[in-house]
Chain A
């Protein structure tokens, strides 16, 4: 049974490392620049849901893509096609799109 113990420990380690790196790939809403969030006019609750859709849907076919790896213009090109692949309803699709764009704005403001 030693390999089961090793495996479970491996999973636990990945869980911890995974949670840490997730904050880099798709930052939680509470660390985002307040000015950017405020200017977007989007409710914080909707952004939190948008992040959740991102985590639940965008890593199911390929590894989750760090939002910072693509520019705002890139995302405008990429998102429509990827959202379609996720089969999200219109509300969820909008929340996901808003979240990505606000994170992009946050990263741009931070430089």
Chain B
């Protein structure tokens, strides 16, 4: 069997075991508030002592230059409320499965581990505008990435509005010599229909800079989102459709997050 696939399976098994153990050893689960968005982050962090497992799945499909293209991305993440204002996330494993005529190495591919920190400065209800700072470091076999985001949020009754500008620096390849910069912004609006059900829309805009110079085309995706929570778990789904016509980017992507709080 292919070595990468073996490694994927191992990390998958490992993180499933870890989360199963967590589920068993932490009784008295707290109530969860769902994430309302999948591409955007809200400003609030977990309270101190709260632990959450998040399962991410992103499906990207159908590029204009390769209609057979499919990619499934998986992330297994644990988040910890370190203080009431600071939250730490560990991506136990990111891996993906890619298929399509234009893809050189079809199949599964382990990507990276990562650590992210979110520091909350102001509250989206109690203060005029909610603001948090987000920093992330990713490390893979042939990948090193730094990412910084601002998380802005304003809540008004059942409405929530978010905006996240993001800047990313990436080093890829054998000796990390392929450099890439990326500017990304996401925004979302969400309405709470019932305490447990939220619906809304999200938009994602990306531009990348190979070697920090050649600018790619602007790619924009737009789509609805829905999020539901009950007891100590929640699920959020966003299908996004490309509104621009960038050849190398998927015409459709869908992200689903499932969270379990302990």
Q: Do A87 and B30 have beta carbons less than 8 Å apart? A: yes
Q: What are 30 A-B pairs with beta-carbon distances under 8 A? A: A3-B203, A4-B163, A4-B187, A7-B161, A7-B163, A7-B187, A8-B163, A10-B161, A11-B129, A11-B152, A11-B154, A14-B154, A14-B156, A14-B159, A15-B129, A15-B154, A18-B154, A19-B128, A21-B156, A21-B157, A22-B125, A52-B126, A55-B126, A56-B126, A59-B125, A61-B32, A61-B195, A63-B158, A64-B157, A87-B49
Q: Which residues does chain A contribute within 8 Å of B44, judged by CB atoms?
A: 60
Q: Which residues does chain A contribute within 8 Å of B31, judged by CB atoms?
A: 61, 85
Q: Do B128 and A15 have beta carbons less than 8 Å apart? A: yes
Q: Do A56 and B123 have beta carbons less than 8 Å apart? A: yes
Q: Which of A10-54 contact B (CB under 8 A)?
A: 10-11, 14-15, 17-19, 21-22, 52
Q: Do A59 and B155 have beta carbons less than 8 Å apart? A: yes
Does residue B50 face the partner (Cβ distance < 8 Å to A)? yes
Taking the closest CB of chain B, its distance from the CB of A92, in whole angstroms, is 10
Q: Write the B201-219 contact mask toward A (1 if CB under 8 angstroms, else 0).
A: 0010000000000000000
Grouping DSSP codes into helix (H, G, I), strand (E, B) and loop, the B interface class, with mixed when no group exceeds half, is: loop
Does residue A62 face the partner (Cβ distance < 8 Å to B)? yes
Taking the closest CB of chain A, its distance from the CB of B51, in whole angstroms, is 12
Q: How far is the CA of A19 from the CA of B123 in the complex (A)?
A: 13
Taking the closest CB of chain B, its distance from the CB of A6, in whole angstroms, is 10
Does residue B55 face the partner (Cβ distance < 8 Å to A)? no
Q: Do B163 and A61 have beta carbons less than 8 Å apart? A: no
**Which of B152, B157, B229 gathers most chain A CB within 10 Å?**
B157
| Chain B: number of interface residues, binned into ranges | 20 to 34
Report which B residues bind A (CB closer than 8 A).
Answer: 30-33, 44, 47-50, 123, 125-126, 128-129, 152, 154-159, 161, 163, 185, 187, 192, 195, 203, 229
Residue of A nearest to B194 (CB): A62
A interface residues, how many (CB within 8 angstroms):
25
Contacts A4-B185, A15-B129 supplied; 9 other A-B pairs, CB < 8 Å: A8-B163, A10-B161, A11-B152, A15-B128, A18-B154, A56-B126, A61-B229, A64-B125, A85-B31
Taking the closest CB of chain B, its distance from the CB of A23, in whole angstroms, is 13
Q: Do A87 and B159 have beta carbons less than 8 Å apart? A: no
Residue of A nearest to B191 (CB): A63
Q: How far is the CA of A56 from the CA of B48 in the complex (A)?
A: 14
Q: Which residues does chain B contribute within 8 Å of A22, judged by CB atoms?
A: 125
Taking the closest CB of chain A, its distance from the CB of B262, in whole angstroms, is 13
Q: Which residues does chain A contribute within 8 Å of B125, judged by CB atoms?
A: 18, 22, 55-56, 59, 64
